[in-house]
Amino acid sequence: MSPYIIVADAQNFTAQVIEKSKEVPVLVDFWAEWCAPCKMLLPILDKLVKEYEGQFILAKVNSDEQKELAAQYGIRSIPTLKLFRHGAVVEEMMGVQSETVLREMIDRYRERPADKLRQQASAAHLAGDSEQAISLLEQAREMAPNYYPTLLDLAKILIDCQRLDEAQNLLHDLPPNVQMDAEVSKLMAQLNFSLIAAKAPPSLESRLAKNPDDLMARYQLSALKVLEGDFETAMEHLLELMRRDRSFEDDAGRKGLLAVFSLLDHEGALVNRYRGKMSVLLY
C-alpha cells in the first residue's frame, strides 16, 4: 500500500476525503471484490499514484461494505470515480477509464509549482505592478510550458497592458483543443475588441452623429463601449451594423454580437434580448 492510498469508510470519510481535499485532490474509487472492471482499473490508478507522489490521494471505498456511503453518493454502478477538491465533488466518471483521461482529470485540479507563481503574479497585477506580474508568469511558463492556465493569465495581463500583438501570438499558438475553451473564446473576444479600439480616432460619437453611415466609426465605437463595460450600447451599434451592411468587415456586426455574447457567458436577459434581435435580422 502506498502512503497516498487510503481505505475510506463512513467513519473516516470526512477527515480523509472531505477535509483532505482542501489540501490536494482526492480521487475516490467505489469498487467491489467481484467487479472485473474494477480490477482492470486498479493498475492504472496504482501507476498514477506512484507517478504523482502525493499530488493527489486515492481513496478506496468498498461499495459492498460501505453501502450507506455508496448510497449517499448515488453509486449505481461500479467502478465509479469521484474527484473531490476543496470539500466537494468536482468531477465523476463511471466505468474503466484510460490513463490519459484520468491524468487529464487529475491535472485539472492538482496544484503545480507554477500555480504559486500565478498567485503572486495576480497579486502583483492587482497592486499595479504589471511588469512584475508578467515576469513571474514567464517564470511559471518556463517551469511548465504546456500548462495553459499560465498562458491565459499572461494573455490577460498583456491585453490589459495593451501589448496586443504579444497577446495575439500567445493565444494563436495555443493547441486547437485549448482554443475551444470558453475562457479562451472570451480572451479572444476581448483581444479583438482591443485591437479595433486601438485604431479608433478621437471624438467617435460626434463623428457618428454627423454621419450615421460611417460604419467604421460605429464599429470602433462598439469596441470602445465593450471595453468600458457598456455592453448594451455596444450591441446596439453592432446590431445597426448588421442592418446597414452585412458585408462590412466580413459581417462584423453579427460576429461582434457573438463575441459580446461570449464575454457575457451566453446568458442573461441582455444576451437573450439581443440574440432575439439578431435572429429577426437573420431570418
**What number of helices (H) and strands (E) belong to the chain?**
15, 5
Neighbours of 219 (CB within 10 A): 22
Q: For residue 161, indicate whether it is catalytic.
A: no
In the set 18, 35, 90, 93, the catalytic residue is: 35
What phi and psi, each to the nearest 5 degrees, are found at residue 80? -125, 130
Q: Sheet harboring 5-7: ordered strands across?
A: 5-7, 57-62, 26-31, 80-85, 88-94
Compute, in degrees rounded to 10, the torsion defined by CA atoms 10, 12, 18, 24: -140
Query: Is residue 38 annotated as part of the catalytic site, yes or no?
Result: yes
Q: How far apart are CA 147 and CA 136, in angstroms?
A: 14
Check 6, 38, 45, 49 and give the catalytic one: 38
Closest listed residue to residue 121, CA positions, set 93, 152, 77, 94? 152
Phi then psi dihedrals of residue 154, to 5 deg? -65, -45
CA dihedral 82, 91, 87, 148 (to 10 degrees): 130
> Helix (H, G, I), strand (E, B), or coil: what is residue 184?
helix
Distances (CA, A) of 89 to 22, 155, 264: 11, 30, 26
Whole-number CA gyration radius for the chain:
25
Measured CA to CA, the distance from residue 82 to residue 75 in angstroms comes to: 10
The set of catalytic residues is 35, 38
